[in-house]
Every structure is written in C-alpha cells, then in structure tokens.
Structure 1
Amino acid sequence: MNRKQELHIDIDWKQVARLMLLSRNIDEKEENELTPEKKILYQFSSKGHELAQILLGMNLTNPKDMVSAYYRSRPLLLTLGLTAEDAIASNMAKSGGYSEGRDIGTVCNLPNEKGPTVLPMAGDVGSQYTPGAGYAQAIQLLSQAYQKEEYNGAISVILGGDGSVATNGFWSALTMATTLNLPVLFFVEDNGYGISVKSNFQTPGGNIANNLYSFKNLKILKGSGTEPEETSGLIKQATEYVRAHNGPALLRLTVPRLNGHSFQDNQAYKDDALLQQEINNDPLKKLKEFVLKGMISEKEWNNLESEIKNEVDKAAEEAWNRSEPESKNLTEALYNDGMEVQKIGGLYSSGYEFPESSMEPKSEKQRINVVESIRRTLEHELEINEKILVFGEDVGAKGGVHAVTSGLQTKFGNQRVFDTSLSEEGIIGRAVGLAYAGFMPVAEIQFRKYADPATEQLKNTGTIRWRTANKFAAPMVVRMPGGFAKCGDPWHSESNEAFFAKMIGWQVVVPANAEDAAGLLRSAMRSNNSTIFFEHRNLLDSKYSRKPYPGDDFVVPIGQAKKLKDGSEITIITWGAMCERCEEAAEELDTSVEIIDLRSIIPWDKKMIFESVKKTNRCLIVHEDNRTAGFGAEISATISDELFKYLDAPVQRLAFPDIPVPYNVDLMNSVLPDAGKIAEKIEELVEF
C-alpha cells in the first residue's frame, strides 16, 4: 500500500457524502426558502467550504481536541454531532440551539460530551485565534506539567478565512504558537475574498502560507480544499504532525465561496468568468465524481440525496415549530449568581472547592503597602490552588513593572508565573483559552491605557456566558494599574474605569488600601465571574493605603461598599485614590460628612448608598475619571431617579475635566480633585 492509499484508508467516504449533502441542503433550504420567507434573518453560507471541514472533523479523534472556529464553520459542527434541527433552529432564533435566540445562528458553539468541543465563536473577525492558542497552551500544561494522560496527543484547531490572517489576533496567536511550540493547527480556508476585498489586500501575494516559511517551529502545508484525495491527505498530514510533534502547523486550503459573504451579498464584484470557475470548483461535484468510482453507486447517491432532502425539510419544520425563547430569562446568565454552573470553563465547572473564607480580617501588626498585599495574596492562592496562573508582560523574572509579582516565578516556576509577548490582545485571548480548560488566569495589563488593544477580547469574554445560555464561561482576573502617580501623562495615568463598567459581564473593583486589595483580589480569584482588578498607581506605596495584612482567608464581597466616616449632613461617594482626599476634606470642616468608599464599580452597593442619602439628603460624588460619562454620572442619575423626594440639593459631581492627564505635575494637580476643591463643594451643597 502506498502513502497516498494510506492517507484515505480510514475515511468513511459514504459518511463524508452524507454530511456534505446535509450541509449543502441546509444552506440551500435557508437561502431558497427560509431567508426569503423571513424565517431566518441572518444567513451565512458554507457552500464551497464543506469538504475540508468535514474531513477535518473526521481527523479530530481525541475527545480532548478543541476547536476555535468562525461563522462559516457549520459543516464541522455537523460532523462533530450537531443535529440539523438544532442548526436550523439556531438560525431561526428559536429555543434551544446554541444560544436560546441570543446570538446569530451561525455564531456557534458545541459543548460536546461525545468528542471534541467547539468553543464559542464570535461575530468579529480574527478573535477566535488567541483563545485557541490559549487552549493549546492549556493542553501543553495539562499533558506535561500536570501529567493528565487524557490530554496526551490532544490538539487545538483554529479555523479562519483568508481575511482573518490580517488581524492582530492571527499574528498574536501565531507568535504564541511558535515561541511556545504549542499543539495548534491553523486551518485557513482561503476563498479569495474578505467580503468583497481580494486576498492580495489581506496579505502580500494573497497566500499567507508563502509568507510564513521563515517562522521557526511552524510546519507549513497548502493545497486544494475541494479535491477529495488531496484535501484528505493534507488534513491528515497536518493533524498527525501536530499530534506527533506537539507543535504548530498551518494548513492553507483554497476553496470557492459559492455564495456571497452573507445572503444579502450578490457578489457583483465578481465577473461571470470567476463565478463560473467557482461553480466548476464545487467540492460537492468533485466528491460525487470521486465516490462514484466504486464506493457508492449512482442509485445509492440519488437515494442519499432524496433521504437528506427529506431530513432537512423535516428538521426545518420541527425547528420552526419550536417555541420562541422566553424574554423573562433574557437578563439571566450575565453573571453566575446562584444559577447552575456552566458546563465548560473555570474552576467551578470541574467541581473545585475553595477553602473557607472570612469577612473578618485577622490583621497582623505590621502595616504593609498595596504592592506587598497583592503579592502575598497571589502567593497564597498560588500555593493552595494549582490551577491559578499568573502572566503578562514582565511579570516573571522582573517581577512586574511595579514589583507586584516579585519572587513568584522563582517560587512557582515559569509554567505558572510567566511572561508573555507584548500583545494585550494575546494576553486576554490566551486567558480565555486557559479559562475554558479549567484554569483561573490572573492576567496583567501593565497600565490601563494599554488595555485598549484588548478591547475586543475583553468585551467578548464578558458576554460568553450570556450568549451561550450558560453553556460556557471564562472566569478570570485582569490586574490593571492606572491613575495618576508621581506625575501624570496621557498613557500611564488614565483611569477610565467607566469604560469597563460598560463591558457587560465583568465585575470591576477598585481597592483603596492594602486590606481591601487582599480581600477583593481573593474574592476575584475565587469568583465564577470575570473581574477587572484596578490597582491605583498612587496607592501602591502610599502612606494612606498601608494597612496590616488581613490574613489568608480574608475576602471582601464584590459589590459591598465600606463606610469610611459616619455623618448626617452630606454623603460623599468615592473610590480609589479619591478616598484619601475626601477624608482630608472632611477633616477641614465642621460639617458632619458621611464618606462611602464604593470599592466595587460593578456591581455597586446601591443599598448602602441609598440608606446614606436618605439620612443626609445631600450627595457629592468624587472621582478621578473624566466627568462626562464617568461612573459618577450613573450613580447620580440613579439617585435622582429613585430618591428625588429625599434630596435637599441637587446631586453634584466633582471629577477630572474632559482632557487627558497632563505630564507636568503642577498642571496635573491643577485639575485633579483635591481636599480644597472637595471641601468647597461640600460647603456649597450644605448651604444650598
């Protein structure tokens, strides 16, 4: 038997034909009937891509294989067990399916108990890459460092079109895969167009494989995704290579896109000759010619066509007859608050049980700064929980630019505390993949402003639970220093915590001292939700923020504010570095001031604030973020809406003006809220 015969001997070509016809019939049913009838509102065709995806699915033989795919990947899901009815019902936004009508029907996921899982897809281009690379790192860790035999030989496969190879996510994932030698297969389906833009505008020469031969540790394969024998051979070689070498490969397959980007796209940008060429390159036609050469008779093929058409017609009818999703459940699954634990992702889905915690501090005598408090909290949680991983730029041997992780890599090794490439997209995407595999990632973004390139991953992370109807979640902690310090500047000194308050599904906490830093960080690392942990630069080593370490069991419940000072004439609501300045202002006055440190931005302690405002009848909100659309505006609006009858004066805000933070110290101080400005505002409101 020659090598060519070996590559195809284990392929069930009758099953390939069945799946190919099933996928094609679903697409044509949607395109010709269901979408024109408005039963489906958003349709993306997979016609032309099916053969390669089906053959890929048949080569995913390890139950721990994981797939990070995109919106044209339904043939793969059908191969891995998705039913025709669920596929169509999801596109109809009916009950059941991928998301209970919450997400576009072709943005799929498959928590597969019988085989490889397909991670939740996203509607943006290229965001599938870094979570897939993160999961590949999880495979490597679980197989090698944690000695989990079931992960031996498992691989992560990332699917994408030719347009996606131009994105930050692709290049970040490629860097991760090649520098760490991860078991990941980049599966590029090149149909020549990103919507209407040709491939040569996405990558020089229009062929990403030709541009990557200089990459170390990367096996490059390329060829047709429409020729049954060639495609099968290439996919088998690629998957076998990744399994055998525990290292990355890229397979670029050329396929036709037989319909537009979506149903509404008429492909007017393609000329008639190209359209005919693509029809001639239809993998279904080539598959039929191939299997009729002794594998299936003409009569069997015709019977299979008829059988599949009837199956799809029936599935479409049953899908349409499903109930509509209930709107009363629409606000559920934003957070894991007393609901069933997600099927995949995080510590809780694997049954991990945390030790007892306490809201009562067991304070030591010596006061420590916030840096040491965070470091000690990380150290203890790393000791008791082997699934915690700490990573980011410079967190390893250097110990972080603020020395927060100093010594942790020495103690726990470079597989649990490690440096990353300088890509915030990659840092957060990697964290998502690791979280799916059951780790608790504690990722660092060096400064708040530098989180901007990771916005796509951060936003997608927060909505995972909701858009998969609680099938998946990716709990993590993202540590993020920011705010003014010895000086300002537009890059390192930004706070802008309100930006994250708008990121649905995230918890956002802002400790003002060493005790709260330990308690909030421990709560975040033991949470089944994702948390932004904001570390104010001016508080990291300030005298004001120094407190005794509260012990290794101490937690601060997320969403619980703290009363810094009792008073009866006015309520001040603040957080972060403004806590010190508000207390200084209160000391200057004879006024009875009540000061509340919010501590958590999302969720925020509405109960404590309302009780205080009802007592004092006046409210001032002080924060460092810009005034316009700062989080103080949300608190102010809520108080005005719900407590108007209790107010003896309008709710006021004192905040940073709508400018970047200036570098010059005097300029910075001239616009920051300080004790004098706060005191003036207090007197103004009390005298109103």
Structure 2
Amino acid sequence: MATNLESTSDSLTLANSRYHGLTEEKLVEMYRQMYMSRKLDDAEINLKRQQKIYFQISGAGHEAVLVAAANVLKPSYDWFYPYYRDRALVLALGMTPVEILAEAVGSSEDPNSGGRQMPCHWGHKDLNIVSQSSCTGTQHLQATGAAQVARIVEAVEGLKGRDDIQTFGDEVIYVSIGDGATSEGEFWEAVNTAANMKLPVLFMVEDNGYAISVPVSVQTAGGSISKATSGFENLFITEFDGCDPIESYAKITEAVEYIRAGNGPALTHAHVVRPYSHSMSDDESMYRPESEREDDAKRDPITTFASFLVSEGILDQDEVDALKKDVDAEVRQAVDDALALPTPHPDTALDYIYSHDVDPTSSVFATNPEWDEEGGEKTMVDLINAAMRTEMRRDPRIVVFGEDVADVTKEEYLGKVKGKGGVFKVTHGLQLEFGSDRVFNSPLAEANIIGRAIGMATRGLKPVVEIQFFDYIWPAYMQLKNELSNMRWRSNNNFKSPVVVRVPIGGYLKGGAPYHSQSGATLFTHIPGLRVVMPSNAADANGLLRTAIRCDDPVMFLEHKHLYRQTYNKSFNPGDDYMIPFGKAAKVREGNALTVVTYGALVERTLRAVKQTGIDAEVLDLRTLSPYDWDAISESVKKTNKVVIAYEDNMSWGYGTEIATRIADELFEYLDGPVKRVAALDSFCGYHPDLEDRILPQIDDIAQAITWLDAY
C-alpha cells in the first residue's frame, strides 16, 4: 500500500499494465474532466468576486482521484454520497457544467437543490447522487443504510423486481469525506457497521492535509486514517497518491472489485492537495507558509497530468492548449447559460417541507374502527405491536430495528427462547414472524439508527425504528434535525426519507430519575418537516402509528412509558385499517366553564382533576403535537373563554408556551381570564418519588389551576 507521494509528471505509476488498462483516449477524456472541474471552480470564484453568486468552495487539487473514481463506478447503478470537494466526481458521472453552475447562481432549475442549498451540495436523482447537507460526516451512516437495501430486497419476499426500489445486487455505495471529518464519530460508526456487516461501501478519504486550518496531525493519531482503521475486519484499505489519476484508477478499481465480490467495504485513502483556500471565506496564507503551498503546487494534478500526457506522446502541447481552449469556451458559455436561468419564486419557500402527494391530516386517514371485542381489551403496548404487525404484513418495505428490538440477535435461538422484543416488549414477536432481515438489532449508537434509516428510506424502504429512551436520543439529534427532517425540502422533492422514529418518553415512573424521565418534545416540534405524535391511549396509539407508517413524511412517534400498561387507557383492537388523521384533537370531555388543552400522560390526570373540582371543564387531547389542532383549540376557547394548558415539559420554553402565546395573539378578545399554564418545574427529574412528585405536574396542580381560573 505504500506509495511515492512525491510523484510528478515524470514519475506517474505504470505498474501491472500500461496505464492500468486505460486507453490513451480515456486518459485524454479524464484530463478534460479534470481541467473542466478546475475551470468551473475558477468561474465560480470570478462570479463570487463579481457578487453574482453568494458563496464558493472549491474542489481544486482533488480532481485526479475523483475523476478516477467516476470512471470506475457506474452512474445510475451505484449510489453516491459525496461531499463538497467532489465537483470532478459529479462532473465525470454526468452532471453538466450548467447543472453545476445552476446551484451556484441559486436557480430554480438547479437539479441539486432548486436554489435551496449552497454551491457544491451535490444531489442528482437521475445519477443516484443523494442530496448532501453541509454537515461533515453525517452522510456516512446514510450510505451504510443505503448499502443494506440490496441485501434486504434479495432476502424479503415481495420486494424483488419492484419499480420503486432499484437494486442490482452488486452495486457499490460511494461515500466521501475529507481528512478532518474523519474525526466525526459518525464516520467511525459507519466504518464499524459496514465492516461488521460486510456491506458494499466505498469510503473515499480525500486527505489534503488540512481541515480548514487544522492539520491532519491534530485530527488523527499517527497522522494516517488508513493506519487508524487498520484493525477493522473485512475492511480493504489502500493508501495512494490521489494526485495521480492512473494510480488512483488502479487502486480504486482494486477496491471496487473487492466490494463487488461481496467481501465487504473498502477505504481508499487518497493524498491530494488543496491549492486554493478552504473556501472564499478563508485565507490559507494566514496559517500555511509559502514554502508548503509551493510544495503542493508541484503536485497539482492539473499541471502534472498535462505534462505526463505530453511526455508520453499522447498529446503534444498544441493539442493540450487546444483542449484547454475548448473547455474554456464551454465554461464561458455555461456561465452565461447559468446566469440566464430563472431563480426560485419567493412563494415556493414552503414547498416540499412535507409531501405534496400524501397528506396525513386529510380525511383519507380518517377510518372507522372495527372493534375486536372478542379479543378483549389491550394495552398500549399490545396495540402498538399489533399496528406494526399488521402493517408489516401489508407492506414488505417495512423494516424494524434499534437497540434490543429483535427477539434474539443469534438467529439459531429464534423460537427457542421467549425473546426480548425491546426493553418494553413493544416489538416482541415481530422478528419471529417476519425474520431477521426485517427485524434486527442495531449497535448501541443512536445516530447509527437514524442515519442508516435515512439511507434505507431514501432508496425506498420504510424503516420504523426505535430509540430505546428519549433521554438518550441526543447523539442522533444531528441526523434528526439536519438530515431526516429536510431531505425532501433541501433536494427540492428529488429525495425523501419517510422514517418513523418510535421513542419511549416521559416520567411518572417512580424512580426514573434524570435520565429516564425526560420530556423535551418541544425540541422536535420546532423542526419543520418533522411530524410529532404523542397518543394518550391504546386505541389512539394504534391508529396514529398506522397513519405514521402510511404517510410519506418523517414522524417522531412519542410513546409515553407511563401509559404503556395502564388499565384506564386500554382498548379493544380497532382493526387492521384503523387510522386517525394528524392534527385532529380528541375532545375527551365536553364542558362550558373553561378549556384544558393537554396531551400524553396528563390527559388522564386532567380528567381526574376536573372530577375532583366539580367544574364543568372541556378537555382536549391534542394527540399530535406537530401539526396540532388549532381549529379545535380556537373553537373551544371561543366557547368557554378561559383556558388552561397542561404539559409535562418544563414550564419555561416548553411546548405549552407556544399554544399559550398563540391564544393570546389570536384569541385575546375571547378571553375572560389569563391563559394559565401547568407544567413541570424548571428542573431535572429526581429519583426519589417525593422529588419526582414535586417536579412533575400532578392532579392537584391541575385542579388548583382549574379552580383558580374558574373563579377569576
């Protein structure tokens, strides 16, 4: 794997066979692609200086290895998760200069994002280039999830040959990263999972020595990511001069052959240069001495490869100059064409936050229950499990995974032991019925669960995943907020990720303490693109989960742990097609004196508080928190003229504060008293029951608020 990283036009590697099987015509084509990429960089820099675009970040110095990769891999066959330096890759895969520049000018015709993302945030549906965000490293877990899809399709009856899930059996999932972003934990999670599962992922590390101003010596112990990853079983590793397109082609070919043969993933560690600053917002002369930059310039592939073609007699200098002249003219025309493209209309800003085709708030999702009274009343756990079971029978695209959700991890034990099925037994028996290809355990890594689910959903599967406790969801917050929620919007509806994320949440556990009692729903309800659901009873949990699975948006399905096995919220099974539209509150008690708006575990506590006071209060159970039923709230407040909002989250900055503010803003003239909130203290939840009772809102707290407001 050792290579001479000082190669120039006089020392390009020609081992094995002349040019490693590349024809002279192909070498010229590769140089043209490399030079085109560089000139597009230069064109954008010029446009930025003229204030005709708003940002620029270059792929300069990375062209050789990226063009080589594109010529090994197959567009529209393999899948691609690039990063912002990968201009030469997407160009060589088939993206046109105008399409590349369309993103720079922010055109509505831009196939990458329709003017919604910064330049070099690649995405092209026809070429299988999945929409890229600005977050470094997050795409690796998505690529790992995408790499499971072919394996699942092959194993699951009913998935083979479907038009909506394109697989070829031996496809490779390309994902790239800079040397700095290899410090991200999600990179290591992805490599670990891909190696452990022998997934067909090509990890491309483009090592230019710097993460903005921080050198690789600070990022990576020993200064080499290929050495740092050498202990992973099944991972093919090769390190080479990424400024040499021929050597890069040979090394990547070897890696891809290893992957396509089913041996597992590969990591290609390419040493490249960065002749321009990190971006036009950066000035590398402030932290890199001139001597170091001069050394990089000697390895610049645009210079060295042109010299090589001349020295080999493949082109003479006049032909090189003619090629450059032709590319320069093409780029100038592309610039003119891109500047003439239309820009997004301001009224399209809200387009594609959610699906335009499937509306889970519509009457389509309002179905009548068909109660199974012979089966007896069931708990919330029972009916959530039943909803997943019937939906998995209906739709073979559904896969269920998370920590401990399978009955067993070792398949030979399946059916021989009772099975785990989640720490709350919600998924018990699903693996036994549907097999280990559809129900399986994940590593103990929350970002891993969400990131892989995004990759699967992007390619057409329907993941219904579990985060074991809401309290531990935070490693996945980057994936949830910056990746899952906006995949559709940022790609201008070219890609989507309709994942359902089930999350046990909340307190009232008598011993839950700070790390098993959290209730921060507002940290998700403020995210556009994410539906947030929180049922209070078994029947609603069944119907709302079915809606979540059948809708086409990402859904956070919050399951209050305290409600899982309560007797007061049990129900008969409402049937295999029972659904409840999102954004439709339930009026659980009719009244005229005042309104109480609540949800989750506080629904039952509110009903008991109303009974305790004897006051004729109306009680609304929101059921879904985003969207929420403003019409029901408005109608009730206009009738009763007084309102209490009861929620389990902290009083300050909590979910109920938004409802209270909107009522004060839009319904002020209907109010005969202040908007009253009942919520948890601005504290963590204590372990001892006396502490928990003081911190979380109790029946007496709600009753006191109702009594006070009624008398106001």
Instruction: Determine if the TM-score, normalized by the shorter chain, exceeds 0.5.
Output: yes
Match of 2:338 among 301, 319, 330: 319
Tell me if structure 2 keeps the 8 A contact 1:219–1:249.
yes
Give the C-alpha shift of residue 599 in structure 1. 0.3
Report the equivalent of 1:279. 297
SS at match of 1:177: helix
Q: Is structure 2 residue 572 aligned with structure 1 residue 548?
A: yes
**More off after superposition, 642-651 vs 666-675:** 666-675
Match of 2:661 among 608, 628, 637: 637
CA distance in 2 between counterparts of 1:236 and 1:179 reads 22
Q: Is structure 2 residue 78 aligned with structure 1 residue 65?
A: yes
Report the equivalent of 1:233. 250
RMSD after superposition: 1.7
Match of 1:465 among 478, 488, 491: 488
Give the C-alpha shift of residue 318 in structure 1. 1.9
Match of 2:170 among 153, 156, 159: 153
Structure 1 residues not aligned, in runs of 5+ = 342-347, 349-355
CA distance in 2 between counterparts of 1:19 and 1:85 reads 14
SS at match of 2:638: helix
Query: Aligned runs of 1:382-397 on 2, under 5 Å?
Result: 382-396=392-406, 397=408
Match of 1:434 among 437, 447, 456: 456
Give the C-alpha shift of residue 276 in structure 1. 0.3
Q: Is structure 2 residue 57 aligned with structure 1 residue 41?
A: no
Query: Aligned runs of 1:139-218 on 2, under 5 Å?
Result: 139-145=150-156, 146=159, 150-218=167-235
Query: Aligned partner of 1:585: which letter?
Result: A
CA distance in 1 between counterparts of 2:453 and 2:75 reads 23
Superposed CA deviations along residues 121-146 of structure 1, whole A, max 9, x for unmatched, are 11111111100000011122224555
Superposed CA deviations along residues 453-494 of structure 1, whole A, max 9, x for unmatched, are 001100121011111111111001000001112333111110
Q: Is structure 2 residue 117 aligned with structure 1 residue 117?
A: no
Give the C-alpha shift of residue 2 in structure 1. 7.7
Tell me if structure 1 keeps the 8 A contact 2:234–2:263.
no
SS at match of 2:89: helix
Report the equivalent of 1:56. 69
Superposed CA deviations along residues 85-141 of structure 1, whole A, max 9, x for unmatched, are 1211211222221222221121121112xxx41111111111111000000111222
Query: Aligned partner of 2:78: which letter?
Result: D
Give the C-alpha shift of residue 589 in structure 1. 2.3
CA distance in 1 between counterparts of 2:466 and 2:371 reads 27
SS at match of 1:391: strand
Give the C-alpha shift of residue 178 in structure 1. 0.9
CA distance in 2 between counterparts of 1:358 and 1:635 reads 25
Superposed CA deviations along residues 416-443 of structure 1, whole A, max 9, x for unmatched, are 0000011111100000000011000011
Structure 2 residues not aligned, in runs of 5+ = 1-13, 409-419
CA distance in 1 between counterparts of 2:336 and 2:659 reads 49
SS at match of 2:440: strand
Under a length normalisation based on structure 2, what TM-score does the superposition of the two structures give?
A: 0.92
Query: Aligned partner of 2:66: which letter?
Result: Q
Report the equivalent of 1:138. 149
Superposed CA deviations along residues 535-574 of structure 1, whole A, max 9, x for unmatched, are 1010001122211111111001111110100001101000
Tell me if structure 1 keeps the 8 A contact 2:121–2:132.
yes
Q: Is structure 2 residue 544 aligned with structure 1 residue 520?
A: yes
Give the C-alpha shift of residue 151 in structure 1. 1.6
Pick closer, same or farther for the CA change 1:261–1:30 going to 2, 3 Å: same
Tell me if structure 1 keeps the 8 A contact 2:453–2:499.
yes
Give the C-alpha shift of residue 201 in structure 1. 1.3
Query: Aligned runs of 1:171-570 on 2, under 5 Å?
Result: 171-267=188-284, 268-292=286-310, 293-338=312-357, 359-365=367-373, 366-396=376-406, 397=408, 398-459=420-481, 460-484=483-507, 485-570=509-594
Match of 2:625 among 595, 601, 619: 601
Give the C-alpha shift of residue 294 in structure 1. 3.0
Report the equivalent of 1:95. 108
**More off after superposition, 287-296 vs 492-501:** 287-296
Tell me if structure 1 keeps the 8 A contact 2:597–2:622.
yes
Tell me if structure 2 keeps the 8 A contact 1:168–1:425.
no
Query: Aligned partner of 1:437: which letter?
Result: R
Query: Aligned partner of 2:393: which letter?
Result: E
Tell me if structure 1 keeps the 8 A contact 2:192–2:232.
no
Superposed CA deviations along residues 178-236 of structure 1, whole A, max 9, x for unmatched, are 11110111010000011111112111111110122221111111111011321111111
Match of 1:126 among 110, 130, 137: 137
Tell me if structure 2 keeps the 8 A contact 1:7–1:236.
no
Alignment: residue pair count: 670
CA distance in 1 between counterparts of 2:106 and 2:534 reads 38
Report the equivalent of 2:605. 581
Give the C-alpha shift of residue 150 in structure 1. 4.7
Tell me if structure 2 keeps the 8 A contact 1:136–1:183.
yes
Report the equivalent of 1:353. none
Query: Aligned partner of 2:606: which letter?
Result: C
Tell me if structure 1 keeps the 8 A contact 2:194–2:201.
yes
Pick closer, same or farther for the CA change 1:43–1:453 going to 2, 3 Å: same
CA distance in 2 between counterparts of 1:251 and 1:389 reads 31
Query: Aligned runs of 1:75-90 on 2, under 5 Å?
Result: 75-90=88-103
